[in-house]
Structure 1
């Protein structure tokens, strides 16, 4: 039995609508997955960092986390290492909290450590 032109048109329309729907789902997923990046900035006596999601600051860290007192990072490299660890934790749905152990594993230099 041959398909009529109407059947072919309906099949083609259904296929096209399916492709459009799948494309919209993929685009929606890509738009809702936040791209995270970081920026190191200077503070009095050293450096800090901030984490952004789609140009919106979600974390601003002016001092070394997990260290008592207001102690800034001594180098841009140290601030960048910790910010990269925070991003990695966020991307893996982990708490972004940084511990002293994390700092030691990254060999972060800490001045005035008590």
Structure 2
């Protein structure tokens, strides 16, 4: 009889732990922030990027920000680097504006296109 009661107690404890774990995972998923993702795309003369939150485009940047004129990024990697910078700023609740200093720190090359 003692073994039977011990088995029931262990089963009940395992079930309770599993149920608590499932509830915690569901609550964490529901409370999580929207996941931000970026995609680089081709534009005339170069590349741009867009940032999505839950499959909704929240930023579409066809040109290099912080410089005068409509100049696209020279490489996919340049667009990707800046999009990741913007995502990091958004996740850290910072202003997502890209500055000339940001571009310089990322070694983004801007060709003079006219």
Q: Scaled by the length of structure 2, what TM-score is found?
A: 0.76
Q: Given the alignment of the two structures, is residue 37 of structure 1 paired with residue 37 of structure 2, yes or no? A: yes
In structure 1, runs of 5+ residues without a counterpart are 1-14
State the Cα deviation string for residues 72-96 of structure 1 (Å, max 9, x = none). 0000000000000000000100010
In structure 2, runs of 5+ residues without a counterpart are 1-15
Q: Aligned partners of 2:24, 2:37: CA distance in 1, in Å? A: 28
Aligned-pair CA distance for 1:42: 0.4
- What aligned pairs does 1:57-76 form with structure 2 within 5 A after superposition? 57-76=57-76
CA-based RMSD: 2.1
Q: Aligned partners of 1:95, 1:53: CA distance in 2, in Å? A: 17
Q: Aligned partners of 1:35, 1:67: CA distance in 2, in Å? A: 28
Question: How many residues matched?
Answer: 97
